[in-house]
Amino acid sequence: MLTEDEEKRIVEDTIKTKTRYDKLNKEQQQAVFHTEGPVLILAGAGSGKTRVLTHRIEYLIEEKKVAPWHILAITFTNKAAREMRERAENLAGDPVKDAWICTFHSACIRILKRCADRLGYDSRFTIYDPEDQKAVVRRLLKDVNLSDKMFTPKAILAEISRAKDELKSPSDYKTSVGAGDLFRQKVSLVYEAYQKNLIENNAMDFDDIINKTVELFRDNPDVLDYYQEKFTYIMVDEYQDTNTAQYMLIRLLSSKYRNLCVVGDDDQSIYRFRGANIRNILDFEKDFKDALVIRLEQNYRSTSKILEAANQVIRNNSQRKSKTLWTRNPEGDNITVHCEGSDNEEAAYVASTIQTMVENGQYHYKDIALLFRTNAQSRALEEKLVVSAIPYHLFGGIPFYQRKEVKDILCYLRLVANDHDYVAAQRIINVPARAIGDVTFEHLRAFAEEGGFGVGETCDMSQEIGELARSSKKLQVFGDLLTSWREKADTVPISKLIHSIIEDTGYSAYLMKDDPVKYEDRMDNLMELSDRADQYTSENEEATLDGFLDELSLVSAIDSWKEGDDTVALMTLHSAKGLEFPVVFMT
């Protein structure tokens, strides 16, 4: 028999549970409550999928009593992951902090840092950005006497990226190349050398982060079993955007307990050019024959006029799972179609319309977005906005962390963290000038790579190395700097380390001499980097230099967008996915 207090508590919990979920519609409730076994949620645009995922996390923790550390919720962008985490914490409180709610790449980095030695890496490996990758490929092309004009690093890296998305190793790729395919034959040659170079540099590129995690799981059953036991409930958002490597990662992790919930919309699959494989969502029911399929078709975001137009367009797709979005929202204004004779005339019309909307008090600049297919199309729009004194922010310009002064200091930090990061060393060993030329650095690199030494190690013993003896004093000074910074990295905040590097190298004076007009702006950028380091430290109890660099490596252009800024947003259609604006111009 239950005591009176126990009966009262059960009644209260039942009322609480009912109240908590009764604002969800029927299909959303079904998606939240069905926690066991494979589930495919076909979530149309604006149908409340984030609400479903966060309530599902809450339901698992509060009602099913699942320990939060057994929950893995994966999405594609830092912005989406941050929003999901915040909303889940608002629902279920502090326990959510123990769940992994993150992007594919941040989850994989955490796994790789723990098990890097299984793959021949040190746990302090560097993550190369696209500019670092191009630097490596340019050097490799030179080594094999190939022209970087005929075989551009960008084209070669795009082909290597496609291979990695499909989980093709250099040897797999080599066997797939046809006898008469000259370009892919050369890519095969570079791909093999490129991967060897990454390992020598204790570095991975962005594609390796997932690729190497799949390799880790396939080759180490004990590691896979550990993470299968850890993540007994797995959720994946934007499943239609997954590539082959991401698909295999999820298949491996979920194969033991099969409590996999994927959310996506085949109608929103727009990333094929990045390797996304729409078959992953279309064939989900073939992979999991007992899967429950739930359709979320009620739209909470758009007017009925917009939905009607969208439904008319998308129903022409031949390969899709049928669904029809509907809404209880007002009918709304008609969609306006305006034709002009040229890019300049179109841009003038857009600028004039924006100005009228804002001057009439209908909207603020921040309510408006201008979308285009490629960044190259932004030129005419930007010119007209400038002439009209309309403030705007362009996504896809030079990212903050790629600005010269910021990238220089980051390369110093990378070399402090990873003594084998020869790409970072090549960029900054003579910045500011130390009379250490390219020839000297190539001798240093050759000796270090052959003997498995780091940059600092080689600098320290340079007096005993024939080709480096003449430059040994300068190299030893540089090596001493690295040693002092590494000691500080273990004892002082990252922001103080940044200031030490700027001061010890004379970098501020170097910027003044390089371009006095831009000096203040460039120093402001370095202070912004320092502030970003302080923000990271305040948000992470166990803040480390490695962790800071890992976090920055995953930043995308859209993460810099501040919703409070009163500026018109200019971005590609692909960058705008998942964002909302009251007024949208599609040019």
pLDDT in tens, 517-556: 999 989 999 999 999 999 989 988 888 999 999 988 887 6
Using CA atoms, how far apart are residues 552 and 410, in angstroms rounded to an integer? 10
Q: What are the CA-CA distances from residue 1 to residues 4, 13, 15 (Å)?
A: 9, 18, 21
Which own/partner pairs from 501-507 qualify as long-range (CB within 8 Å, at least 24 positions apart)? 501/409, 501/412, 501/413, 502/409, 502/526, 505/412, 505/432, 505/481, 506/432, 507/405, 507/408, 507/409, 507/432
DSSP bridge pairs for 103: 75
Residue entry with tokens 């993150």: 102
CB–CB of 112/217 below 8 Å?
no
Q: What is the pLDDT of residue 302?
A: 85
pLDDT in tens, 319-336: 777 777 888 888 888 888
The mean per-residue pLDDT over the stretch 299-309 comes to 86
The mean per-residue pLDDT over the stretch 181-203 comes to 94
- Domains contained in the chain, CATH given: 16-111+212-296 (3.40.50.300), 126-201 (1.10.10.160), 298-335 (no CATH), 343-397+561-586 (3.40.50.300), 415-518+530-540 (1.10.486.10)
- CB atoms closer than 10 angstroms to residue 291: 18
pLDDT in tens, 476-531: 999 999 999 999 998 999 999 999 999 999 999 999 999 999 999 899 999 999 99
Using CA atoms, how far apart are residues 572 and 580, in angstroms rounded to an integer? 14
The mean per-residue pLDDT over the stretch 209-233 comes to 97
pLDDT in tens, 333-383: 888 888 888 888 898 999 999 999 999 999 999 999 999 887 777 888 888
Using CA atoms, how far apart are residues 560 and 528, in angstroms rounded to an integer? 12
Distance between terminal CA atoms of the chain? Answer: 70
Query: In three state form, how does the secondary structure of 264-288 look?
Result: ECHHHCCCHHHCCCCHHHHCHHHHC
pLDDT in tens, 90-118: 999 999 999 999 999 999 999 999 999 99
Q: What are the CA-CA distances from residue 155 to residues 67, 151, 168, 274 (Å)?
A: 46, 7, 17, 14
Using CA atoms, how far apart are residues 11 and 21, in angstroms rounded to an integer? 16
- CB atoms closer than 10 angstroms to residue 150: 11
Using CA atoms, how far apart are residues 337 and 35, in angstroms rounded to an integer? 45
**Most confident among 97-106, 295-304, 390-399, 569-578 (mean pLDDT):** 97-106
Task: Give every strand in the sheet of 583-586, ordered side by side.
Answer: 392-394, 568-572, 368-372, 583-586
CA dihedral 553, 559, 560, 566 (to 10 degrees): 180
Buried b / exposed e over 215-225, threshold 16 CB at 10 Å, is bbbeeeeebbe
The mean per-residue pLDDT over the stretch 561-574 comes to 79
